[in-house]
Amino acid sequence: MATATKTSRLNLRVAPESLDVLRRAAAEQQQDLTSFILGAALDRARETLLEVQVITLTAEERRRLDEAFDREPRVVSALAELVAWAKSLEVEDPSGLGRRTYSWPPPGKLVSAVDED
């Protein structure tokens, strides 16, 4: 794996006692201070992102989710109307950038967030 070129800087202000703890811990791991701090920070950052990006389900929650996936889908009328309305507005953007401009709700329409079918 190729290593990325290090061009960005990160500066920290720490209390002398904190710096001493970090230096001692880095030495115990036979790492320089920068590598130790960066490694610990990246480990924590990855843990944090994993916590918010991965959903853990209990066995009961997994069973209920599987059942929901196995059921026949149903049409939610408000969403069907929204999709039809959005498709009716699709025109090529004059700038050529593929942008679309929509206004919601469509004139004269009030769509309930709850499907009443």
Which of 48, 28, 35, 29 has the alpha carbon at shortest distance from 6? 35
Instruction: For residues 96 and 91, give the distance between their C-alpha atoms in angstroms, rounded to a whole number.
Output: 11
pLDDT digits (tens, 9 = 90+) for 59-102: 999 999 999 999 998 889 988 888 887 777 766 566 666 666 55
Q: Where are the domains of the chain?
A: 13-73, 79-111
Span 32-58, pLDDT tens digits: 999 999 999 999 999 999 888 888 899
Task: Indicate the pTM of the whole model.
Answer: 0.48
- Say which amino acid occupies 42: L
- Closest C-alpha to 112, from 74, 73, 79, 75: 79
- Nearest 5°: the CA angle 64, 66, 72 is 100
